[in-house]
Amino acid sequence: MMMAVDAHKALTDAGLMRRAAIASLSVSVFLVAIKCIAYFASDSVSVLASLADSALDLFTATLNLIAIKSALTPADAEHRFGHGKAEPLAGLAQGAFIAGSATFLTVQSITRLIDPGPVTEEKMALIIMCVSIVLAIALVLYQRRVVAQTGSIAIGADKVHYLGDIATNAGVIVALVLVWRFGWQMADPIIALFVAGVLLWSSWGVFRQSYDQLMDRELPDEERAKIKAIVMRHPEVRSLHDLRTRASGLNTFIQFHIELDPECSLVRAHRVSDEVEGEVCAAFPHAEVIIHQDPEGAEVQPALAQA
């Protein structure tokens, strides 16, 4: 038996996700434009690192917008469980491109360490990097609110990118100040290497989260424990077993067996299941729940006995 997702909340969340994706795309376009000016004026490899990061953000923001639109497409005859896995697929692509960008920056930084070059127009580059940090912070705060309400993987991955942007932009500012005020040219490629490391670390986090969804990994233990507590709170549920969970984009799929009084009528068993389902869906608004009723004491197959 399956309970429909709260239509109003789903519609609200869909709108939030679309607006967050459009905001990310708009900020990315602007940052790429101003960082291009900063790089060509300064010839700073750390600014190049930040530019590459923003160019990557522009690509992934475009990818996110497409993926979110696909993920929010309702289930149809050929995709009975919806299109939620479009989001983790986009996350895998993001992780791969972030790792590629980190590799590129590492090569460029090592080249500049071996063959140092002068950095020019440091003051203008500093102003542009400060503007970049302000915009990134504003976007991250907005994305954090959207992720808290919707649980979107794609928006969450994008938020990770911009958190990295804040750190890397701060590093670039430090490098430019060291070059401008103290003439330490080596600070530029060293900070660029730091940026590459941040990108590589963030790519692993995005890849792992996306991979878990694609492989139907169980929900975290605390969420499974919460489901069990909700189910066992019903006075007529004697036991629970064979709990299975997975996430797909915005949706969570939850399946389990409940044991009831063997003398319970089919009508009453149906009503108890409806009540339990309603409680679970109240706690997990985007959940689709399937419940199987068993008489208490019925033999359970060993493979299914573990909840």
Q: Structural domain of residue 188, as residue ranges?
A: 7-214
Is residue 39 in a domain?
yes
Contact at 8 Å (CB) between 154 and 90? yes
Q: Does residue 148 sit in the same domain as residue 277? A: no
Is residue 1 in a domain?
no
Please state, as a whole number, how many other Cβ atoms lie within 10 Å of the Cβ of residue 132. 27
Who has greater pLDDT, 172 or 272?
272
Phi-psi region of 43 (alpha: psi -120 to 50; beta: other; left: phi over 0): left
User: What does the pLDDT read at residue 227?
Assistant: 94
Give me the number of domains the chain comprises.
Answer: 2
For residue 62, count CB atoms less than 10 angstroms from its CB and return exposed for 0-12, middle for 13-18, buried for 19 or more: middle
Q: Does residue 249 sit in the same domain as residue 268? A: yes
Q: What average pLDDT is seen over the chain?
A: 78
User: In the sheet that 287-295 helps form, which strands lie side by side, from edge to edge?
Assistant: 239-248, 251-260, 287-295
Coil, helix or strand for 94?
Answer: helix
3-state secondary structure string across 167-207 = HHHHHHHHHHHHHHHHCCCCHHHHHHHHHHHHHHHHHHHHH
User: What does the pLDDT read at residue 2?
Assistant: 39
Cα(281)–Cα(3) distance, integer angstroms = 8
Share of the chain above pLDDT 70, in %: 80
Ranges 21-25, 139-143, 188-192, 247-251: which has the least confidence: 247-251
Q: Which residue, of 214, 229, 250, is where some domain finishes? A: 214
CATH number at residue 277: 3.30.70.1350
Helices (H) and strands (E) in the chain, counts: 8, 3
CATH number at residue 59: 1.20.1510.10
Share of the chain above pLDDT 90, in %: 15
Coil, helix or strand for 5?
Answer: coil
User: What does the pLDDT read at residue 243?
Assistant: 93
Q: Does residue 178 sit in the same domain as residue 244? A: no
User: What does the pLDDT read at residue 271?
Assistant: 92
pTM summary value: 0.56
User: What does the pLDDT read at residue 304?
Assistant: 46
Instruction: Judge whether residue 3 has pLDDT over 50.
Output: no
Ranges 25-39, 94-108, 272-286, 292-306: which has the least confidence: 292-306
User: What does the pLDDT read at residue 10?
Assistant: 60
Q: Does residue 135 sit in the same domain as residue 280? A: no
Who has greater pLDDT, 45 or 20?
20
For the segment 219-255, what is each residue's pLDDT rounded down to a tens digit? Answer: 888 999 999 999 999 999 999 998 999 887 667 889 9
User: What does the pLDDT read at residue 83?
Assistant: 60
User: What does the pLDDT read at residue 272?
Assistant: 92
User: What does the pLDDT read at residue 305?
Assistant: 46
Cα(53)–Cα(191) distance, integer angstroms = 14
Q: Which residue, of 169, 185, 214, is where some domain finishes? A: 214
Please state, as a whole number, how many other Cβ atoms lie within 10 Å of the Cβ of residue 221. 8
Is residue 2 in a domain?
no
For the segment 261-291, what is each residue's pLDDT rounded down to a tens digit? Answer: 988 888 999 999 999 999 998 888 778 898 9
User: What does the pLDDT read at residue 246?
Assistant: 86
pLDDT-based confidence at residue 296 (cuts at 50, 70, 90): confident
- Nearest residue to 289 via CA among 233, 243, 250: 243
Ranges 24-38, 110-124, 188-202: which has the least confidence: 110-124
For the segment 96-148, what is each residue's pLDDT rounded down to a tens digit? Answer: 777 877 787 788 778 777 777 666 677 788 888 888 889 989 988 988 888 88
Who has greater pLDDT, 155 or 230?
230
Q: Does residue 75 sit in the same domain as residue 134? A: yes
Is residue 262 in a domain?
yes
Q: Does residue 85 sit in the same domain as residue 182? A: yes
Instruction: Judge whether residue 90 has pLDDT over 60.
Output: yes
Q: Does residue 293 sit in the same domain as residue 246? A: yes
Is residue 33 in a domain?
yes
Cα(171)–Cα(168) distance, integer angstroms = 5
